[in-house]
Amino acid sequence: MLKQILPAISVAATIAGAPVLAQDTETLRVGMSGGYFPFTFVRQDELQGFEVDVMNAVGEEAGLEIEFETMSFSGLIGALEAERIDTIANQITITPEREAKFIFTQPYVVDGAQVVTREGNSEIEGIEDLSGKTVAVNLGSNFEQLLRDLPNADEIDIRTYESNIEQDTALGRVDAFVMDRVSSAQVIAESPLPLELAGAPFSEIRNALPFRSDEAGQAMRDRVDAALTSLQEDGTLTEISHKWFDSDITKSAE
Amino acid sequence: MRALDLDYMLGLVPVILGYVPLTLIMAGAGMVLALILGSLLAVERVFKVPVLDWLVMLFISFFRGTPLLVQLFLFYYGLPQVLSFLTQINGVTAAIMGLTLHFSAYMAESIRAAIAGVDRSQWEAAQSIGMTQGQMMRRIVLPQATRIAAPTLVNYFIDMIKGTSLAFTLGVTEMMGAAQKEAAGSFLYFEAFLVVAIIYWIIVEILNQGQQRLEIWLNKGYVR
């Protein structure tokens, strides 16, 4: 908490006319929601998860100090654009729209989009069954776009959420939610919520770290990308993946 | 129906309590700044300085007319696109700025009403003994107006404390943000949000007690 107050004071000093402190080039400010189990979540005030381990490993490999900033998911892209953070580690899927705006590292997670329903709901077994149903999805997530691009999108009542889509599906307020396959399976296994996977994943998604496409962003991207390559080669990424998922999600399943 | 996970709730209490100081710092700083700004705006509204009065009315109209969340997003995500130096402002500072501007507009109105509530004879008496307008406001009118405005101002402070829960959308992990993240990791939504609700409630109840004492103290001169 002190970490949040001290910058406030130093910023106040900056505004009051003190010289602007030079941005430490050795620091990588990583934005994440802290609310996407098991990639980034908090228990007893401790930020943890797959993304945290990956970024710490990247920091060690590339000789960068990693600074985590948590904020609500829909604010992350804005914060990256506004230069408040340098990258986002929150399972950001590479999409053409995002590629037009940002530059990405290589993908470090290969995953699928998954429909999840309340336990015992046998009406939904795949995306075709979503017609006439209400489906929850995280606001600003790639899954929102995936849903809107479906051939039967017009018939689906898509509800965008800031958080807690799992709970609203478990409560029966919506018929299903769409998220990535890996964390869906993990939520079902580890949470007390009555949920189940509905059918097979319907789209392969590749997740990577976005950077601003300016000169500094480019340099940082290349540095982080090189670190990801060595972590992929020496098996560190596989190891981190097994720790959280009991399987390797960092490579395509073939 | 499942039973409440009491152990989880007890474990969460110290975690959420750790964020109470940040909430109080944001609300406290916002309150002090909003009181100063609100008083200045109110005094202006009483004397209706040409041109300035029009600007003050515009300010009050805007900050009362738009939701706090919209204002916070405007400052934190919107304005930096136009004025790049604003990226230097972090979430805590932006939250304090937002709370200050938003609540000073409300306070200006209630302080203005309180000034108007001070009997006209008090003004005339002050003028008759040759006080300047500044002296009159400082020594005679504002102290009496404070007493009238105090209950509504404490109400705004309570609102401000609860308003800090919006700071999570600016990347500031305060009490609500911490609860939200814990709930996302444990999926025990009811427990997490109940703990944070009870802690907010206790803080506001303590303030209520303070308000009662403040009113007794401010009314000392009026007890018959």
Query: Which tokens go with A169?
Result: 């599906």
CB contacts of B2 in chain A (<8 Å) are 192
For chain B, helix, strand, coil in percent to 5 are 85, 0, 15
Q: Does the CA dihedral B33-B36-B38-B44 come out positive or negative?
A: negative
pLDDT per residue over B167-218, tens digit each? 988 888 899 999 988 988 888 999 999 999 999 999 999 999 999 999 899 8
pLDDT at A107 exceeding the cut of 70:
yes
Q: What is the largest CA-CA distance in chain B?
A: 74
Give the pLDDT score at B223: 73
Instruction: Return the percentage of chain B with pLDDT > 90, whole number.
Output: 74
How many Å lie between the alpha carbon of A165 and the closest alpha carbon of chain B? 10
Strands A204-208, A92-93: parallel, antiparallel or unpaired by DSSP? antiparallel
CB contacts of A84 in chain B (<8 Å) are 87, 90, 171
Give the pLDDT score at A11: 46
Q: What is the DSSP letter of A63?
A: T
Please state whether the peptide bond connecting residue B151 to the residue before it is cis, i.e. omega within 30 degrees of 0: no
pLDDT per residue over A228-247, tens digit each? 999 999 999 999 999 999 88
Q: Which residues contact B60 (CB under 8 A, 6 or more apart)?
A: B41, B105, B108, B109
Concatenated DSSP letters for A25-56? TTEEEEEE-S-BTTTBEEETTEEESHHHHHHH
Give contacts of B 102-161 with A, CB under 8 A.
Answer: none
Across the interface, of A35, A43, A84, the residue whose CB is closest to B180 is: A35
- B173–A34 CB contact, under 8 Å: yes
pLDDT at A19 exceeding the cut of 70:
no
Residue A17's pLDDT band, with cuts at 50, 70 and 90, is very low
Give the pLDDT score at B222: 80
Q: Which residues contact A207 (CB under 8 A, 6 or more apart)?
A: A91, A92, A93, A94, A107, A108, A109, A110, A111, A180
pLDDT per residue over B117-128, tens digit each? 999 999 999 999
pLDDT at B52 exceeding the cut of 70:
yes
Total Cβ atoms within 10 A of residue B70: 12
CB contacts of A11 in chain B (<8 Å) are 88-90, 93
Q: What is the pTM of this model?
A: 0.80
Q: Which residue has the higher pLDDT, B40 or B85?
A: B40
- Cα→Cα distances B130→B123, B126, B127, B133, Å: 11, 7, 5, 9
CB A134 within 8 A of CB A177: no
Q: Which residues contact B184 (CB under 8 A, 6 or more apart)?
A: A33, A34, A35, A36, A37, A41, A42, A163, A164
pLDDT per residue over B151-160, tens digit each? 999 999 999 9
Task: Name the residue with tokens 């399976």.
Answer: A185
Cα A24 to Cα A11: distance, rounded to the nearest angstrom: 15
∠ Cα B199 B150 B157 (to 5°): 30
Cα A224 to Cα A209: distance, rounded to the nearest angstrom: 9
Choice among A74-83, B24-33, B105-114 with the minimum mean pLDDT: A74-83
Q: Closest chain B residue to A71 measured between Cα atoms?
A: B171
Total Cβ atoms within 10 A of residue A209: 28
∠ Cα A203 A209 A214 (to 5°): 125
CB contacts of B185 in chain A (<8 Å) are 35, 37, 41-43
Across the interface, of B91, B170, B186, the residue whose CB is closest to A43 is: B186
pLDDT per residue over A122-136, tens digit each? 999 999 999 999 999
pLDDT per residue over A31-89, tens digit each? 999 988 899 999 999 999 999 999 999 999 999 999 999 988 888 998 898 888 999 99
Radius of gyration of chain A (CA): 19
Instruction: Determine the residue among B99, B181, B191 to mutate to test chain A binding: the one whose Cβ has the most chain A Cβ atoms within 10 Å.
Output: B181
pLDDT per residue over B206-224, tens digit each? 999 999 999 899 888 887 6
Helix (H) or strand (E) holding A134: strand A134-138
pLDDT per residue over A30-40, tens digit each? 999 998 889 99
pLDDT at B19 exceeding the cut of 80:
yes
CB A58 within 8 A of CB A227: yes
A217 in reach of chain B (CB within 8 A): no
- B182–A72 CB contact, under 8 Å: no
**A48 beta partners:** A41
Query: If we measure between CA atoms, which residue out of B33, B13, B16, B17 comes closest to residue B157?
Result: B33
A23: left (phi over 0), alpha (psi -120 to 50) or beta: beta
Cα A110 to Cα A108: distance, rounded to the nearest angstrom: 7
Query: If we measure between CA atoms, which residue out of A38, A42, A41, A30 comes closest to residue A68?
Result: A30
pLDDT per residue over A192-209, tens digit each? 899 999 999 999 999 999
Give the pLDDT score at A253: 55
Concatenated DSSP letters for A140-180? TSHHHHHHHTSTTGGGSEEEEESS-HHHHHHTTSSSEEEEE
Total Cβ atoms within 10 A of residue B105: 22
